[in-house]
Chain A
Amino acid sequence: MNNSRRSFLKVAGLSVFALSSGVAGLANAAQVAPGRYERGANALHAKRWAMVIDTRAFKSAEEYKPIIEACHSFHNVPKIPGKQEVKWMWLDNYDHAFPDDLSEHQKPSLLQAQFPLLCNHCTNPPCVRVCPTQATYKMEDGIVAMDYHRCIGCRFCMAGCPYGARSFNFVDPRKYLSDPVPNPTFPTRMIGVVEKCTFCAERLAVGKMPACVEASGGRILFGDLDDPSSSVRKALADNFSIRRKPNLGTQPGVYYLI
């Protein structure tokens, strides 16, 4: 009696284990399946999206302002004063943007210039590596995207990002947005989650270039890095370009022509 009960429990336990691992396997298969969402017929495609910013074409920091404004208003990025701010694209000087380059005697125009900074959509993104819930993930076209509904707000990605590209919603961002919000077609975020530039994945999906690219009047290029005939590859072939902190091996997808 006792013996048969024990063997029954053994079989039952094994069955539960087998079933649950099967379910887990299915769940994993679902995660890696292509086409997480439907793209429109007009969607722009690339193997590896990348951005080239021709900083030589910008005469002053003022000229970047409308571009940043275009990004922030399109994505409903709130203007929160102080150290707990949220920003997707912002300006900083040469020393801060490229701290590895320690030549003190560059041309003054370079040292005094302001540079637009944003998420680099790295090929080897540390933020994706450290995220414990896959709320930050890499799409098949190289864009590092975020699921704001899965993010638990642990901020491991902020510690991991070497570019300071990520912002955490310390406060409720909706309190700092106008009513109605600048762009009702793009979702606002909630308190307690991390956010950052999306390379406008949502605009690419409907056949539009990123908001900053559109507002730049041709001074910011955007295209497929894996396509030798793309505008970004041509610009990189013909001009000297730099990337931020290249020695970390992250392979940033944002290039600066200087």
Chain B
Amino acid sequence: MLEKLLTGQKRYYAWLLFLLVVIAVCGIAYLQQLQEGLSITGMSRDVSWGLYISQFTYLVGVAASAVMLVLPAYFHHYVKFKRMIIFGEFMAISAVVMCALFIVVDLGQPQRMLNVMLHPTPNSVMFYDMIVLVGYLCLNAIIGWVTLEAERHNVMPPKWIKPLIYLSILWAFSIHTVTAFLYAGIPGRHYWLTAIMAARFLSSAFCSGPAILLLLVFIVRRLTGFNPGKEAIKTLTTIITYAMCINVFFYLLEVFTAFYSGIPGHQHPLVFLFAGHEGHVSWVTSWMWAAVVMAAASLIILIPPTWRTGPLLPLALVMLVAASWIDKGLGLLIGGFTPNMFETITEYMPTGREIMVAIGVYAVGALVLSLLWKIALGVKKEVGNFSD
């Protein structure tokens, strides 16, 4: 199937070239980081994780979200998802690749990263995170490739793939649960020490991940004419809407517990994020309110069925992705570290070079995604499973 990569329009090659240039330019920033250490980032003694780890967290959710296609298709035999499933699985692969890269660029001594395997430490959640991410990558690579190959030859996929698919469904839940445990098991970080963290992670993943998938599919539909089917889009949009409602609901539960209990430690991060701390208003406050407005606006468009299927859908999805990204890709880390362990404020803002490194990782992910989707689209076209 790899030969599908070698034929394409000029536009396809120009896109790949563009991504390679972005990776090369951002790679220079990473080389500088290797030389000068993480001092080139905005992180500090008090805010010791930043943009890299938050992107890792967000992308684990994107990876896990493939299950929102796989589960209805295989547990409920919802056949209308079958045409689109491979795109979810391949997006999961690209997301896990980005997760791994975000961990690597965050390490102070990346050449020692295999110490995690050389000295396996079952009491560390990071040990399990490594296992579940590597496992999920392998599962999706095997399942995606084998099912696509079968589709190409117009045969049923081999029987042994079924157990792997069922396993991948459970596995998807595990990757984001374990990622939530990285945070939810830490004493003394009030914003993270909450039993509902894993549930929040999953709900935000199951709305934002499929939303990103749908937006990308819309772009591909415009560029290539591939159509996953009206019904499939409609069903996935409904799933996104439910997941977003649950996501917002879960966040409001946190707000209730913090403020009704009146425990200062639980209130401080929320107050800091949305109103500032003792007169000190951070740049992140305007972002958090933007997230609130966009989350509400996306739900206003998504909840009424006529609007949900109308021309406003892409706008709603963009706002949903932006809102969930600000919540999980920005607020989660900043709120966890501010106020710091001394109940004082140490500001964090990513530096230009830090953002460049992050863009570079996203470009690698885009490259992986483009290549995998190119193969999938090629096969779909070849066998005539391209549009209605």
Chain A contact residues, CB within 8 Å of chain B: 82-87, 92, 95-97, 99, 102, 126, 128-135, 150-156, 158-164, 167-172, 190-194, 245, 248-250
Contact = CB atoms under 8 A, between A and B. Distances in A.
B342 A132 contact: no
Given A130-B125, A133-B115, A167 B109 contact: no
Which 10 residue pairs of A and B lie closest in terms of their CB atoms, listed nearest first?
A153-B108, A192-B108, A162-B188, A83-B44, A96-B342, A164-B341, A132-B126, A158-B48, A170-B39, A132-B124
A99 B342 contact: yes
Contacts of B130: 132
Given A130-B186, A132-B121, A155-B108, 11 more contacts: A84-B44, A96-B344, A130-B124, A134-B119, A153-B112, A156-B182, A161-B188, A168-B45, A168-B48, A192-B109, A248-B187
Nearest to B337: A159
Contacts of A134: 119, 121
Contacts of B182: 156
A155 B49 contact: yes
B300 to A, nearest CB: 36
A120 B103 CA distance: 29
* Most central of A131, A150, A192, A194 by chain B CB within 10 Å: A192
A163 B343 CA distance: 11
Contacts of A96: 342-344
B45 A83 contact: yes
Contacts of A163: 188, 341
B286 interface: no
A97 B39 CA distance: 27
B187 A249 contact: yes
B115 A169 contact: no
Contact of B109 (A87, A152, A249): A152
Contacts of B48: 155, 158-159, 168
B341 A162 contact: yes
A164 B342 contact: yes
A153 B107 contact: yes
Interface residues of B, number: 46
A187 B115 CA distance: 22
Nearest to B348: A83
17 contacts: A87-B45, A99-B342, A99-B343, A126-B188, A129-B124, A133-B118, A133-B119, A134-B119, A150-B119, A154-B107, A155-B108, A156-B126, A171-B39, A191-B108, A192-B37, A194-B108, A248-B187
* Most central of A84, A92, A152 by chain B CB within 10 Å: A152
B9 interface: no
Given A96-B342, A126-B186, A152-B113, A85 B45 contact: yes
B186 A170 contact: no
B141 interface: no
A134 B116 CA distance: 9
B37 A171 contact: yes
Contacts of A158: 45, 48
* Most central of B45, B103, B115 by chain A CB within 10 Å: B45
Contacts of B38: 153, 168, 170, 192
Given A152-B108, A170-B43, A192-B108, A159 B189 contact: yes
Contacts of A193: 108-109
B36 interface: yes
Given A99-B342, A131-B121, A192-B37, A152 B112 contact: yes
Interface in B308-356: 336-337, 340-344, 346
Interface string B180-195: 0010011111000000
B124 A156 contact: yes
B108 A126 contact: no
B107 A152 contact: yes
A85 B45 CA distance: 7
Nearest to B123: A129
A22 to B, nearest CB: 16
Contacts of B103: 154
Nearest to A191: B37
A193 B37 CA distance: 10
B121 A152 contact: no
B127 interface: yes
Contacts of B151: none
Nearest to B37: A191
Given A102-B264, A133-B121, A154 B126 contact: yes
A184 B126 CA distance: 36
A84 B337 CA distance: 15
A134 B343 CA distance: 29
B106 interface: yes
B118 to A, nearest CB: 8
B46 interface: yes
Nearest to A173: B37
A172 B112 CA distance: 17
A39 to B, nearest CB: 24
A169 B37 contact: yes
Interface in B122-161: 123-127, 130
Nearest to B115: A133
Contacts of A126: 186-188
A132 B188 contact: no
B100 to A, nearest CB: 13
A87 B44 CA distance: 13
A165 B37 CA distance: 21
A250 to B, nearest CB: 7
Contacts of A135: 115
Contacts of A167: 45
A86 B76 CA distance: 56
Contact of A250 (B108, B121, B187, B336): B187
Contact of B112 (A84, A130, A150): A150
